[in-house]
């Protein structure tokens, strides 16, 4: 028997921090630390496991929690590092060594569980076993045995996967929140994201003069996003600033993946590079699990279970069995929303898997399978993008949009232009409705040039018209009419000619009466295609001050859209009818039509025409109700921001919105107040803006939005979030419902509590209920509309 280790006691507790003192600052983990420590101090907290992907900071958080428990309780805390252990014997030796150091006991090898039990006194002890993923079975066996002998022992384990023991409580540690790209926040707000704050801290360690500016804000946000918000990955990337500026570093990440991040030889081997970090988890998978991970790693955004099955080539019952270990090891992230769960591979893991596929010579085959899967999705969706299932299928395509773009790019690179063209044509209405106009035009330019069929030409013409490109739209519609004539499709031929005439009216051409008459006649037939409705709407939008002709054409368009159950088309007709009502001085009718329009456009996620509708409604608000300057400015700002994001400039000759209100509003409010409101509106999500409009009473009923008491000074957005808090929604649920980042929701809740002077979410909920009691009659009136 050989003596293993002798200790006469650990460091003095008068010199905290004991476990985390040599580690870098813990940024962005205040809530996680408080939650974990509070749980460890509970009387029933016998076994807890801190899980998360490699590099997320599990060991760092466990060390900080150990210090807090040591300082605030009478617990004896013992930490055993198992990262370099790969055998069951090694687990016993490490645990015995750490306990022996703490309690001044002599342990002789070989070590048994009874030896370890003998070391642990019959008092409150917290044993932290850090880094268990490589020896998970041995750790599970040890913990189970120790708990059966020492009832006052508590165990905290850390690892990339759980122990799966009865009574185990999981604490998933998620990556640091990252900004959305492209940026919507101001530069001054970015350091509120812990990932950005960490990058700046590490960047200043390399260069003390480093500062966040308007020029480098987007690249910094992109780095944090590409590194998945993983602290270790961000630190390793920031270290490369010794060689490259931020913008160059982003380009190298795009081109070289892991190779651009570099290594840190001063760290343990597992943390020296991103490659080593991911490889440690990859080695824990069997061949089938590795294969599935690499196949779904080509996806650039989250995917549904059906996509996992198809790309993996597995039956449904096999897929769940193979996928579960990937989720347990945090290589695949599960994202829950209102529908079925979706799965995403971390970007850092994706880079590793793509390197592996390249080494094996399998990348082209896997990308081919990926392209064919999403190509099939686009063609399945095509017939539903104008029917009663329009909203559902548009949502499906939006969820898969990045993958669809990658599939199109691959088809072009793989010299399969006909397939790329047909897929782009199938997607054109989705691009048109959701405002992806530049992307659609880029793909459809090749499609319209390489194909002589009318569908490709018509699709390109529709997107060009939405972007205000009169001549290209007219030319594309002309080619489409020729193609439809050659194949004998008379209705679509005339619809394209009508679209061409509508576009050319913006270049000064007189209205074409024959085209208008044919569209009106065609609409009366039950088999009239949706293109007839599109043509009628385009002619109505270009009719100028001929209000009677415009009204007739809108009636035609509405009839066709109603037959095809086209929600978006009907919403656009309502918006145009609202502007007609405004031109005739029928403001009450106009407002109700605007609201009907916005309800329908919101339901399908419409973004191309929505800025025009917001501007028109803001003009109505400005003309009809006094004291609404704040709402008007915010509404116009939201529309302006959306127009800029989509590059939409629809072809319309009739205008009810002018620059005058903005100039007058600036004068009335003052420059500083106007700019603050404009900035607030610009950052407000368009869907949230519409929700705010629809939640307010009609202008005819007083036009006042229920608000919090004046002394609270909550913005409408903050009041909306406070109301969701009162409904019991978590920050994540609020973020999902309002389509904002979780971190933005956290900041809003924090600001609300500060403004109201309230200590907790419960108090916010009570405050909202009290306010709502005072506004009950108003709200009941709203909901009855």
Read off the CATH number of the domain in which 90 is found: 3.40.50.300
User: Which H or E run includes 537?
Assistant: helix 530-541
Helix crossing, 610-624 with 686-695: angle to 10°?
Answer: 40
CA separation for the pair 297, 406 (Å, rounded):
13
Helix or strand (DSSP H, E) at 556: helix 547-564
Give the lowest-confidence range in 17-31, 307-321, 361-375, 667-681.
17-31
From 3-12, 65-74, 176-185, 561-570, the region with the lowest mean pLDDT: 3-12
Give the pLDDT band of residue 593 (cuts 50, 70, 90). Answer: very high
Q: How many whole angstroms separate alpha carbon 61 and alpha carbon 104?
A: 27
pLDDT for residue 772: 53
Q: Which domain holds residue 721?
A: 711-785
CB 632 within 8 A of CB 609: no
User: Same domain, yes or no, for 423 and 543?
Assistant: yes
- The residue among 337, 361, 385 that closes a domain is 361
Between CA 690 and CA 716 the distance in angstroms is: 12
Taking the C-alpha atoms of residue 641 and residue 529, their distance in angstroms, rounded to an integer, is: 34
Is 249 found in the same domain as 129?
A: no
| 571-574 long-range contacts, CB within 8 A, separation 24+ | 571/596, 571/597, 571/598, 571/599, 571/600, 571/601, 571/604, 571/606, 572/537, 572/597, 572/601, 572/609, 573/537, 574/600
Query: Is the domain of 772 the same as that of 672?
Result: no
Model pLDDT, residue 186 = 76
pLDDT for 506 equals 76
Query: Angle at which helices 401-413 and 417-434 pack, to 10 degrees?
Result: 150
Q: CB under 8 Å, gap of 24 or more: what pairs does 597-602 form?
A: 597/571, 597/572, 598/571, 598/690, 598/693, 598/694, 599/571, 599/694, 600/567, 600/568, 600/570, 600/571, 600/574, 601/568, 601/571, 601/572, 601/575, 601/690, 602/687, 602/690, 602/691, 602/694
Measured over the CA atoms of residue 658, residue 664, residue 590 and residue 593, the dihedral's sign is: positive
pLDDT in tens, 430-472: 999 999 999 999 998 865 555 568 899 999 999 999 999 999 9
Structural domains of the chain, count: 6
State the CATH number of the domain containing residue 736.
Answer: 1.10.10.10
Residue 402 lies in a domain: yes
Which residues, 6 or more positions from 477, have their beta carbon under 8 angstroms from its beta carbon?
457, 458, 461, 496, 497, 499, 500, 503
Whether 749 contacts 731, CB under 8 Å: yes
Check whether 169 has a pLDDT greater than 80: yes
Query: Which sign, positive or negative, has the C-alpha torsion 723, 726, 727, 730?
Result: positive
- Position 182 in a domain: no
Residue 769, pLDDT score? 66
Q: Compute the distance between CA of residue 407 and CA of residue 375 in angstroms, rounded to an integer.
A: 7
Q: Give the Cα separation of 44 and 182 in Å (integer).
A: 45
Q: Residue 268: pLDDT band by 50, 70, 90 thresholds?
A: low
Q: What is the mean pLDDT of residues 126-153?
A: 92
Residues 6+ apart with CB under 8 A from 693: 595, 598, 617, 635
Cα 627 to chain centroid, rounded:
36
Q: Phi and psi at residue 572, in whole multiples of 5°?
A: -70, -40
Q: According to the per-residue pLDDT averaged within each range, which of 339-343, 351-355, 449-453 is highest?
A: 351-355
Q: How far apart are CA 126 and CA 98, in angstroms?
A: 12
Give the SS3 label for residue 628.
coil
- 777 band by pLDDT with thresholds 50, 70 and 90: very low
CATH code (residue 481) = 1.25.40.10
Three-state DSSP state, 76:
strand
Q: Is the pLDDT of residue 775 over 70?
A: no
Give 643-677 pLDDT, tens digit per residue.
999 999 887 655 544 455 777 888 888 888 888 88
The overall average pLDDT reported for the chain is: 84
**Amino acid 597: pLDDT:** 96
* 639 close to 614: Cβ distance less than 8 angstroms: yes
User: Would residue 656 count as lying in a domain?
Assistant: yes
| pLDDT for 440 | 94
Is 273 within 8 Å of 262 (Cβ atoms)? yes
d(CA 316, CA 320): 7
Q: What digits encode the pLDDT tens for the residues 512-548? A: 777 788 888 888 888 899 999 999 999 998 877 788 8
> Which residue would you say has higher pLDDT here, 529 or 12?
529
User: Which pLDDT tens digit goes with each residue over 539-571?
Assistant: 998 877 788 889 999 999 999 999 999 999 999
Of the candidates 215, 237, 262, which is a domain's last residue? Answer: 262
State the average pLDDT over residues 70-80.
Answer: 92
| Least confidently predicted of 241-250, 282-291, 458-467, 564-573 | 241-250
Q: Is the pLDDT of residue 785 over 60?
A: no
Indicate if 140 and 211 belong to the same structural domain.
Answer: no
Cα distance between residue 249 and residue 229, in whole Å? 16
Better-scored residue on pLDDT, 265 or 720 = 720
Query: Is the residue at 20 inside a domain?
Result: yes
For residue 86, being part of any structural domain is answered with yes
Structure tokens at 555: 């009636």
The pTM of the whole model exceeds 0.75: yes
Mean pLDDT of 696-700: 77
What is the model's pLDDT at position 270? Answer: 59
Residues 135/87, Cβ–Cβ less than 8 Å: yes
Assign 782 a pLDDT band (cuts: 50, 70, 90). Answer: very low
Q: Taking a C-beta distance cutoff of 8 angstroms, is the pair 84, 102 a contact?
A: no
Number of neighbouring beta carbons within 10 Å of residue 1:
6
Instruction: Give how far Cα 338 sits from Cα of 316, 730, 733, Å.
Output: 22, 14, 9
Residue 591 and residue 641 share a domain: yes
Between 77-86, 275-284, 401-410, 766-775, the lowest mean confidence (pLDDT) is in 766-775
Helices (H), 625-670: 629-646, 660-669
| 478 and 517 co-located in one domain | yes
The residue ranking higher by pLDDT, 699 or 559, is 559
Residue 747 has a pLDDT of 78
Tell whether 283 is covered by a domain: yes
H-run or E-run covering 554: helix 547-564
Name, in order, each residue with C-beta under 8 angstroms of 600's C-beta and a sequence gap of 6 or more. Answer: 567, 568, 570, 571, 574, 606
For β-strands 47-51 and 169-172, DSSP reports them as parallel
The better pLDDT of the pair 256, 639 is held by: 639
Is residue 332 predicted with pLDDT exceeding 70? yes
Q: Give me the percent of the chain exceeding a pLDDT of 90.
A: 48
The reply to whether 257 and 322 lie within a common domain is no
Joined together, the tokens standing for residue 245 give 């500026």
Residue 247 lies in a domain: yes
Return the number of other C-beta atoms located less than 10 Å from residue 773's C-beta.
8
Give the model's pLDDT for residue 603: 93
Residue 268 maps to a domain: no
Q: Are residues 162 and 13 in the same domain?
A: yes
Average pLDDT over residues 206-220: 89
Burial code (b: 16+ CB inside 10 Å, e: under 16) for 720-751 equals bbbbbbbeebebebbbbbbebbbbbbbbbbee
Rounded Cα distance between 276 and 603, Å, is 46
Give CA angle at 380 (379, 381), nearest 5°: 90
pLDDT at 4: 36
> Over 90: is that where the pLDDT of 599 sits?
yes
- Residue 209 and residue 133 share a domain: no
Q: Read off the pLDDT band of 739 (50, 70, 90).
A: low
Apex 226 CA angle, 224 and 227, nearest 5: 65
Same-domain status, 407 and 467? yes
Q: Over 287-317, what HEC string results?
A: HHHHHHHHHHCCCCCCECHHHHHHHHCCCHH
Point out the least confidently predicted range of 245-249, 351-355, 423-427, 660-664.
Answer: 660-664
Q: Round the CA-based radius of gyration of the chain to a whole number and report it.
A: 31
In this prediction, residue 784 carries a pLDDT of: 37
Specify whether 157 is located in the same domain as 212: no
Ramachandran region of residue 245, left (φ > 0), alpha (ψ -120 to 50) or beta?
beta
122 and 200 part of one domain: no
Question: What's the angle, vertex CA 312, arms to CA 307 and CA 315, rounded to 5?
Answer: 85
Residue 546's pLDDT is 80
Whether 542 contacts 651, CB under 8 Å: yes
Cα 500 to chain center, whole Å? 38
Rounded to whole angstroms, the Cα distance separating 279 from 100 reads: 33
Of the three residues 701, 729, 763, the one that is the final residue of a domain is 701
Q: How confident is the model at residue 783 (pLDDT cuts 50, 70, 90)?
A: very low
Q: What is the pLDDT of residues 119-132, one digit of tens each?
A: 988 889 999 999 99
Q: 153-159 and 332-335: which strand pairing?
A: unpaired
More confident: 342 or 524: 342
Which whole number is the average pLDDT over 468-490? Answer: 92
Q: Which residue in 300, 234, 225 sits closest to 261, CA to CA?
A: 234
């Amino acid at each position: 028997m050989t003596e293993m280790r002798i200790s006469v006691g650990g460091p003095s507790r008068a010199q905290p921090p004991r476990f985390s003192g040599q580690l870098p600052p813990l940024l962005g983990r205040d809530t996680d630390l408080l939650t974990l420590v509070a749980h460890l101090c509970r009387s029933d907290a016998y076994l807890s496991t801190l899980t998360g992907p490699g590099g997320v900071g599990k060991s760092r958080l466990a060390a900080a929690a150990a210090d807090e428990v040591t300082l605030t309780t009478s617990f004896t805390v013992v930490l055993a590092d198992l990262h370099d252990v790969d055998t069951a014997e090694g687990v016993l030796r490490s645990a015995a060594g750490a306990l022996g150091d703490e309690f001044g006991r002599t342990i002789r090898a070989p070590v048994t569980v009874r030896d370890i039990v003998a070391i642990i006194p019959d008092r409150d002890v917290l044993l932290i076993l850090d880094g268990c993923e490589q020896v998970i079975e041995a750790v599970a066996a040890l913990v189970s045995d120790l708990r059966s002998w020492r009832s006052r022992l508590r165990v905290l384990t850390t690892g990339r996967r759980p122990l799966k023991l009865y009574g185990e409580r999981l604490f998933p540690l998620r990556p640091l929140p990252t900004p959305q790209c492209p940026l919507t926040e101001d530069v001054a707000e970015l350091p509120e994201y812990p990932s950005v704050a960490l990058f700046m801290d590490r960047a200043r360690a390399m260069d003390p003069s480093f500062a966040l500016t308007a020029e480098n804000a987007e690249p910094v946000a992109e780095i944090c996003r590409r590194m998945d918000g993983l602290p270790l990955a961000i630190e390793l990337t920031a270290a490369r600033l010794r060689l490259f500026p931020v913008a160059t570093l982003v380009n190298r990440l795009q081109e070289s993946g892991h190779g651009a991040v570099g290594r840190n030889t001063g760290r343990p081997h597992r943390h020296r590079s991103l490659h080593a970090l991911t490889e440690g988890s990859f080695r824990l998978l069997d061949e089938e699990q590795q294969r599935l991970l690499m196949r779904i790693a080509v996806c650039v955004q989250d995917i549904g279970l059906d996509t996992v099955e198809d790309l993996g080539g597995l039956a449904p019952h096999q897929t769940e069995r193979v996928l579960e270990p990937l989720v347990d090891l945090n290589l695949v992230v599960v994202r829950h929303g209102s529908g079925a769960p979706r799965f995403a591979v971390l970007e850092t893991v994706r880079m590793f898997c793509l390197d592996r596929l390249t080494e094996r010579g399998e990348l082209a085959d896997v990308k081919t399978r990926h392209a064919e899967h999403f190509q099939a999705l686009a063609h399945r969706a095509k017939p539903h993008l104008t029917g009663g299932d329009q909203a559902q299928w548009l949502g499906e395509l939006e969820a898969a949009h990045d993958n669809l773009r990658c599939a199109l790019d691959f088809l072009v690179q793989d010299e399969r232009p006909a397939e790329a063209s047909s897929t782009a044509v199938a997607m054109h209405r989705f691009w048109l409705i959701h405002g992806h106009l530049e992307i659609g035009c880029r793909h459809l330019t090749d499609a319209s040039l390489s194909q002589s069929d009318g569908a490709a030409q018509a699709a390109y013409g529709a997107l060009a018209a939405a972007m205000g490109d009169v001549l290209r739209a007219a030319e594309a519609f002309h080619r489409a009419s020729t193609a439809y004539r050659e194949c004998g499709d008379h209705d679509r031929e005339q619809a394209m000619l009508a679209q061409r005439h509508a576009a050319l009216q913006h270049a000064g051409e007189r209205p074409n009466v024959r085209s208008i008459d044919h569209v009106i006649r065609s609409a009366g037939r039950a088999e009239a295609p949706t293109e007839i409705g599109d043509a009628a709407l385009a002619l109505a939008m270009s009719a100028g001050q001929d209000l009677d002709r415009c009204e007739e054409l809108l009636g035609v368009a509405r009839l066709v859209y109603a037959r095809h159950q086209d929600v978006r088309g009907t919403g656009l007709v309502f918006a145009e009818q609202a502007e007609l009502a405004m031109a005739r001085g029928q403001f009450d009718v106009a407002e109700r039509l605007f609201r009907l329009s916005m309800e329908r456009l919101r339901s399908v996620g419409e973004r191309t025409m929505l800025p025009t509708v917001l501007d028109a409604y803001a003009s109505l608000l400005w003309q009809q109700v006094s004291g609404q300057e704040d709402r008007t400015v915010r509404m116009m700002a939201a529309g302006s921001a959306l127009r800029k994001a989509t590059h939409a400039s629809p072809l319309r000759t009739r205008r009810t919105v002018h620059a005058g209100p903005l100039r007058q509003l600036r004068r009335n409010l003052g420059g500083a107040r106007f700019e603050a409101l404009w900035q607030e509106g610009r950052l407000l999500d368009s869907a949230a803006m519409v929700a705010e409009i629809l939640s307010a009473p009609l202008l005819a009923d007083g036009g006042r939005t229920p608000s919090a008491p004046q002394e609270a000074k909550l913005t409408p957005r903050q009041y909306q979030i406070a109301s969701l808090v009162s409904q019991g929604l978590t920050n994540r649920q609020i973020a999902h419902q309002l389509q904002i980042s979780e971190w933005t929701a956290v900041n809003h809740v924090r600001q609300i509590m500060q403004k109201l002077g309230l200590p907790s979410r419960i108090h916010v909920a009570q405050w909202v209920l009290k306010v709502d009691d005072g506004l009950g009659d108003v709200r009941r009136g709203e909901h009855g509309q």
